[in-house]
Amino acid sequence: MSNLFDTKPPADSDGKSYNASQIKKLEGLEAVRHRPGMYIGGVDSRSLHHMAAEIIDNSMDEAVAGHANRIEVELYADGSLAVTDNGRGIPVDMHESGKSALELIFTSLHSGGKFDGKAYKTSGGLHGVGSSVVNALSEKLIVEVARDKKLWKQKYSKGKPTTPVEKISDVNNRRGTKVRFYPDKEIFGDNIFIASKLHRLVRSKAYLFKGVEIRWRCDKSKISKENPVPEKETFHFPNGLSDYLSHQIGKRACVSSRAFSGDILEDDGIGRVEWCIQWTVDGDGFANSYCNTVPTPQGGTHENAFRSALTKALKNYGEILGEKKASGITSSDVCDEASYLLSVFISEPQFQSQTKDRLSSPEATKLVEGLVRDRFEQWLSSDPQSARQILDYIIERMEERNKRRIQKEARRKSPTRKLRLPGKLADCSDKNSVDTEIFLVEGDSAGGSAKQGRNRKTQAILALKGKILNVASANKEKINANQEIKDIIMALGCGTRKEFDINKLRYGRIVIMTDADVDGAHIATLLMTFFYREMPQLIEQGHLYLAMPPLFRLVYKNTSFYARDEKHKDKLLKTEFPKNAKVNVSRFKGLGEMLPKQLKETTMNPETRSLIKVCVPKRNKANESNLEESRETDNMVETLMGKKPEKRFNFIQENAHFVSDIDI
């Protein structure tokens, strides 16, 4: 083994081992360990996964530049992550400081740019992290470079080299870079890589750049029910963004059957723009833009240009059709409820703002504006049916916007802004929205018991008639016309979707209280779907709960117990009563059968009841992994509750083997 690249600092001309700039660099990495938050935003799970993204982005850059087409990402049992690409390999040659370029990249803070001269450099720029930061925060990092028929290797610990850059062997047919790193427990504590987060991240990268194949490998020990990822998978999406958008839209109904998508390479061969847009009937859109496969959650020049291009094209098309209303369309009408992905590839992107999540490069405007507008006009003329559907939909959005504005003005002007409440709401007497709660109860008889069993001061009851409408398979008009849904919205007072305002919520807790049987579970599911679709922030902010009414009552002499389910009942029978006692077990057919006192005791009284809090991941546009998680929740709701029964069928087929303890 030859030690061509000694890590010992070389003596400079004055014979001193260190010069000032080297000392400064040393301080740099110490500073990263001292204040990791300053460099990666924190020491939590999110920041940890940020480290993975940073390393993967380096390989993505090499792929986007056209020098690699395969990336492998492996999660090991020991908690380390390895990323390998078949690119040119990081240069190992000597830098003027006397160190190898490779070592400098991993040990000095602002190493990007100077030696790499990469065409598509986002890593270390956008995330602002850089591989040296990842190195500094890793207990161990090993880099291997296959380049010019030689394999080189260097190891580090907490950012400092523990071996020189060594030549390991000759290699004939290998090229590329491999980095394996072990995040430092001293920094990240108990946070470890989560297989499903990495799997999602890696998949999104493959969607975002169709020129790459990404191989995923994961140790068995990292896979569980909570992290149901395959041990091995290969991602390659030749249809890129179109596939990604279909994946994200899932089975939601769309305004036109075809998506508008395109992919344009600029003449000079450097700039590239790719996009895909669809309008869903439910109007719940999402917009994600990227630069060099890295998310730009705050948008920027590329996104503004895209929205403006679409709007101009559509207005122009409307004018050609003689559709007068089209002249009033704004980019908000066109884009706010659309679902689109926009991805640009440019060299040396510029970002605005501290967090670097808003693109400011003027080239992006030039790249997107004209090209997308032309393409959209062509597309609209080539498919008049889709064009008409989209135009009509967008004119509707415009009219709705105008209506909202007029209503708002009218409300502002009218002196009496009286609160309207549904007739059948038994409201509580307290008016604060912190300690109060509303029970949504299935059926009038249960409603009756609940009204008698409640604390009038703080507990309101709204009895719903049987099964509410499934909002996931109904259109907007049907939802708006449904009395039960109107009552819920009115009682809560906080509005839905765009008009949602948490400050107007009239209760601190919304408790879904249904029978402890399958029908009750179905109603609870329908209600959760309603809240998830119409007021997701309500769930995100922890206001939605499920009551836990008992299914059994166990009586022996003068002691009685309530059991939630079969299992709980058996446990109570074993543990709470004398052996062979003749316990009287009765099963409640429904809440309505319970005495108000029993209902209060078991399900409503805050002192004695238990509630289940309904949780969803809080939507965070700035975090790709989190966004993907939210989309997966969206898709799951759509699969389980949406219009297409075959999706449910497939889900059951695929997941039946997970089911172990069914209570029948």
Shorter beta-carbon distance to ligand TTJ: residue 202 or 472? 202
Q: Is 118 in the site for ligand TTJ (CB under 6 A)?
A: yes
Q: CA 379, CA 373: separation in Å to the nearest integer? A: 10
Q: Please, what sign has the CA dihedral across residues 22, 42, 229, 183?
A: positive
Comparing C-alpha atoms, which of 544, 447, 448, 443 is closest to residue 492?
Answer: 544
Whose Cβ is closer to ligand TTJ: residue 147's or residue 197's? 147
**Of positions 58, 289, 293, 598, contacts ligand TTJ by CB under 6 A:** 58
Q: Which residue has the tokens 């003005």?
A: 409
22 vs 59, beta carbon nearer ligand TTJ: 59
Beta carbons within 10 angstroms of residue 224's beta carbon: 11
Please tell me the distance from the alpha carbon of residue 257 to that of residue 255, in angstroms, as a whole number.
7
Which is nearer to ligand TTJ, 62 or 484 (by Cβ)? Answer: 62
**CA nearest neighbour of 641 among 549, 548, 524, 535:** 524
Contact (CB, 8 A) for 92 and 102: yes
Q: Smallest distance, Å, CB 321 to ligand TTJ?
A: 51
For ligand TTJ, the closer of residues 95 and 568 by Cβ is: 95
Alpha carbon distance 54, 46 (integer Å): 12
Q: Which residues contact 248 (CB under 8 A, 6 or more apart)?
A: 286, 339, 341, 631, 634, 635
Nearest Cα to 87, choosing from 65, 112, 114? 65
Q: Is 517 a catalytic residue?
A: yes
Choose the binding region for ligand TTJ from 86-94, 187-195, 392-400, 572-580 (rule: CB under 6 A).
86-94
Stretch that binds ligand TTJ, among 113-121, 154-162, 491-499, 630-638 (CB under 6 A): 113-121
Q: b/e for 261-272, b at 16 or more Cβ within 10 A?
A: bbbbeeeeebbb
Q: Does 116 bind ligand TTJ (CB under 6 A)?
A: yes
Contact between 91 and ligand TTJ per CB under 6 A = yes
Q: In angstroms, what CA-CA distances link 309 with 315, 335, 376, 527?
A: 10, 11, 8, 40
CA distance 384 to 548: 54
Stretch of 53-61, 298-306, 322-330, 642-650 lying at the interface with ligand TTJ (CB under 6 A): 53-61
Is 515 in the active site? yes
Does residue 62 belong to the site contacting ligand TTJ (CB under 6 A)?
Answer: yes
DSSP codes of every residue in 43-54 = SSHHHHHHHHHH
181, 134 contact by CB (below 8 A): yes
Stretch that binds ligand TTJ, among 55-63, 344-352, 470-478, 512-520 (CB under 6 A): 55-63
Closer residue to ligand TTJ (CB): 193 or 286: 193
Assign residue 159 a region: left if phi > 0, alpha if psi is -120 to 50, beta otherwise?
A: left
Site for ligand TTJ in 171-190 (CB under 6 A): 177, 179
Angle (nearest 5°) at CA 135 between 129 and 136: 85
Q: Where does this chain touch ligand TTJ (CB under 6 A) — which range of 84-92, 157-165, 222-230, 417-425?
A: 84-92
Name the packing angle between helices 624-641 and 195-208 (round to 10°).
Answer: 90
Establish if 164 lies at the interface with ligand TTJ (CB under 6 A): no
Q: Is residue 487 near ligand TTJ by the rule CB under 6 A?
A: no
Which of 266, 284, 383, 517 does the annotation list as catalytic? 517
Q: Is the dihedral of CA 501, 503, 504, 509 positive or negative?
A: positive
The CB-of-71 to ligand TTJ minimum distance in angstroms stands at 8
Would you give the binding string for ligand TTJ spanning residues 186-225, x where CB under 6 A is met? Answer: ----------------------------------------
Find the binder of ligand TTJ among 87, 159, 183, 283 (CB under 6 A): 87
Instruction: Examine residue 108 and tell whether it contacts ligand TTJ (CB under 6 A).
Output: no
Which strand (E) or helix (H) includes residue 592? none
- Residue of 40, 83, 491, 604 interacting with ligand TTJ (CB under 6 A): 83
User: Considering only 58-66, 263-271, 418-426, 576-584, which stretch makes contact with ligand TTJ by CB under 6 A?
Assistant: 58-66
Stretch of residues binding ligand TTJ (CB under 6 A), selected from 82-90, 158-166, 283-291, 575-583? 82-90
CB of 176 to ligand TTJ, least distance (A): 7
155 binds ligand TTJ (CB under 6 A): no
Nearer to ligand TTJ, 83 or 214 (CB): 83
First to last CA, the chain: 67
Judged by CB, which is closer to ligand TTJ: 90, or 546? 90
Residue of 499, 519, 570, 663 marked catalytic: 519
Is residue 88 at the binding interface for ligand TTJ, with CB under 6 A as the rule? yes
Q: How many residues bind ligand TTJ (CB under 6 A)?
A: 16
Question: What's the count of helices (H) and strands (E) in the chain, helices before strands?
Answer: 21, 26
Please confirm, yes or no, whether 303 is among the known catalytic residues. Answer: no
Q: Count CB atoms within 10 A of the CB of residue 458.
A: 18
Three-state SS at 438 = strand
Is residue 131 near ligand TTJ by the rule CB under 6 A?
yes
Contact call for residue 634 and ligand TTJ (CB under 6 A): no
CB 123 within 8 A of CB 85: no
Catalytic hit among 363, 437, 515, 629: 515
293 binds ligand TTJ (CB under 6 A): no
Q: Is 12 a catalytic residue?
A: no
Cβ of 540: how many Cβ atoms within 10 Å? 18
| Structure-token pair, residue 88 | 């040119």
Catalytic residue among 61, 427, 442, 638: 442
Which is nearer to ligand TTJ, 144 or 624 (by Cβ)? 144
127 binds ligand TTJ (CB under 6 A): no
- So which residues are the catalytic ones? 442, 515, 517, 519
The contact set with ligand TTJ (CB under 6 A) reads 55, 58-59, 62, 83, 85, 87-88, 90-91, 116-118, 131, 177, 179
